[in-house]
Amino acid sequence: MRLALFDLDHTLIPLDSDHAWGEFTVKLGWRDARSFSEANDGFYADYKAGTLDIHRYVRFAIEAVREHGQASALKAREGFMEQVIAPVMGEPARALLRRHQSAGDTVVIVTATNEFVTRPIARAFGVDELIAIELERDARGEPTGAIHGTPSFREGKIARVEQWLAARGLDWSHVQHSTFYSDSINDLSLLEKVHEPVATNPDARLRAIALERGWRTLNLFE
């Protein structure tokens, strides 16, 4: 197996899809604009600083879905995809994914954003394999606000990739070559794990590490 792993937010798309979904629910009138945006921005600042409490954030981020129900949220998500996500899915990112797929690589998006937000984005990019934060659901299939299993966040991304491999009867020893594209210092552990780390639209701290270690850097948004 040749494995091509991709972070999503600020790597394949030039925004944070979780943060953008929250702002979209404000525009729908599902949240008070001022209080929600202040909290949303605070969590995003924590993420960039590497101090995010992922469990608190997921409970906050999925609250609108819980309150309005899955059916209404799915309909709203269609509008989110059309109005917010589709316009920023650039050709350089699409071409990079196609290049790996054409080479026969197994392409997987590995993101710390939850499955509700990211599943349609992966599909729109033509990627079937998605490792995202899984939501705990009640007997009716509605999200509870908790995370199911290991969150694909920071070191948890390695654990989730290993679970994904194990489900296929594989482990890292079966991977002939692995590449991981990411913008974020939060993904340093997985970048260090793969054969070929690629700092993609990197934040300042990751750019410095990439320069120091001689990692390839890539900008998909120019």
pLDDT per position as a tens digit, 131-142: 999 999 999 999
Which contacts qualify for 63-70: CB closer than 8 Å, 24 or more apart? 63/145, 64/22, 64/25, 64/30, 64/31, 65/116, 65/143, 66/142, 66/143, 66/144, 66/145, 67/30, 68/30, 69/142, 70/141, 70/142, 70/143
**46 counts as catalytic:** no
Q: Which two tokens stand for residue 7?
A: 């972070």
Q: Provide the H-helix boundaries in the chain.
A: 17-27, 33-49, 54-61, 63-80, 91-102, 115-124, 156-166, 188-193, 204-213
**pLDDT < 70 stretches in the chain:** none
**53 counts as catalytic:** no
pLDDT in tens, 30-42: 988 888 889 988 9
Tell me, what's the pLDDT at 222? 75
What is the set of domains in the chain, with CATH numbers? 2-13+89-218 (3.40.50.1000), 17-87 (1.20.1440.100)
Residue of 7, 16, 105, 187 marked catalytic: 7
Tell me, what's the pLDDT at 77? 98
Tell me, what's the pLDDT at 79? 98
Residue of 9, 16, 105, 183 marked catalytic: 9
Which contacts qualify for 208-211: CB closer than 8 Å, 24 or more apart? 209/185
Tell me, what's the pLDDT at 37? 85
Alpha carbon distance 150, 152 (integer Å): 6
Q: How many CB atoms lie within 10 A of CB 214?
A: 6
